[in-house]
Amino acid sequence: MSPLTPRYRSALTCGHCSRHIGHVEWTGERPAARMLLHPIVGNPSAVLVGQRICCPHCGGPSFAELPERVRENALTAYRGAAVGRNPLPRAS
C-alpha cells in the first residue's frame, strides 16, 4: 500500500438491537473494493464484495456510521531502520 493511499474506519451498529458490532476498515475512496471487519468478539476477517454483515446477537442488518480517516504513526508509515540503529548494509 502506498503511503499516499488513505485508510478509513467506520463503526458498525445493528439496526434492530442497536448494539455495537465492531468496525470495518478499507483503503482508498471505494469502500466496496477491499474491506476488513474487526468484530467485537473474534478475529478480523475480510469482507467479500456483496457480503452482508449481520448482528451476531439478533441477526439484524448492520449500518456503518461516522467514517473517519485513519492516521498512521510516522514510524509505521516509514518502513526504514529502527530509531537509534544504523541501517543494514545492502548486498552487492
Residue type present at position 58 = C
53 found inside a domain: yes
Averages of pLDDT over runs of 10 residues in the chain (92 residues) are 73 94 84 82 87 91 89 56 64 66
Which range marks the domain in which residue 46 is found? Answer: 7-70
| 3 state DSSP class of 76 | helix
Q: What is the pLDDT of residue 31?
A: 62
Count how many domains the chain has: 1
Strands (E), 1-88: 7-14, 20-27, 35-39, 45-47, 62-70
Instruction: Look up the pTM and report it.
Output: 0.64
Of 70, 48, 61, the closest CA to residue 18 belongs to 61
75 found inside a domain: no
Buried b / exposed e over 5-37, threshold 16 CB at 10 Å, is eeebbbbbbbeeeeeebbbbbbbeeebeeebeb
1 found inside a domain: no
Q: What is the pLDDT of residue 32?
A: 66
76 found inside a domain: no
84 found inside a domain: no
85 found inside a domain: no
